[in-house]
């Protein structure tokens, strides 16, 4: 997370209008790689990670517990802020499987706290 944060925090990603910029694609790749590294260290795996039009989304799982993850890449000169919360942060919610885009209730966390939030959610569900 540290390397990912150092490279992308407070950085404005180029906006190429109706196309994803190379920089936005690079951010998505870095995000997916960070999530895989953090997942390996914290005991979860990335089962899907896709990019849309200046957003990315996917699923992580531990055992039979799935969590949907979604992040909108700031545009129009706005900067990526790892400390933003709420709808400007990362959306996470429990899901039934890697195709459940409705899932349960939405939760939000800061981008800087995503790996810890995912671990906390897995542990909470495992105890239930």
CB atoms within 10 A of CB 19: 11
> What residues contact residue 126 under an 8 Å CB cut-off, 6+ apart?
62, 63, 65
Place of tokens 């992308």: 8
Q: In the 8-state DSSP scheme, what is residue 104? A: S
Residue 26 CA to residue 22 CA, distance in Å, equals: 6
Alpha helices in the chain (DSSP H): 2-8, 22-42, 114-127
Residue from 46, 26, 28 nearest 36 by CA: 46
Q: Helix (H, G, I), strand (E, B), or coil: what is residue 101?
A: coil
Cα separations (Å) of 33 from 3, 17, 19, 73? 11, 25, 22, 16
Tens digit of each residue's pLDDT, the chain (128 residues): 899 999 999 999 988 888 999 999 999 999 999 999 999 999 999 999 999 999 999 999 999 999 999 999 998 889 999 998 887 899 999 999 999 999 899 999 999 999 999 999 999 999 87
User: Can you give the pTM of this predicted structure?
Assistant: 0.93
Looking at residue 76, its pLDDT comes to 84
């Amino acid at each position: 997370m540290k390397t990912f944060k150092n490279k992308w925090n407070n950085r404005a990603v180029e906006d190429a209008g109706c196309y994803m910029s190379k920089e936005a694609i690079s951010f998505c790749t870095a995000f997916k790689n960070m999530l895989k590294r953090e997942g390996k260290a914290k005991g979860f795996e990335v089962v899907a990670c896709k990019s849309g039009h200046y957003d990315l989304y996917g699923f992580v799982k531990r055992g039979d517990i799935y969590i949907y993850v979604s992040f909108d890449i700031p545009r129009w000169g706005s900067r990526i802020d790892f400390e933003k919360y709420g709808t400007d942060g990362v959306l996470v919610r429990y899901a039934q499987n890697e195709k459940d885009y409705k899932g349960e209730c939405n939760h939000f966390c800061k981008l800087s706290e995503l790996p810890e939030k995912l671990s906390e959610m897995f542990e909470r569900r495992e105890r239930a």
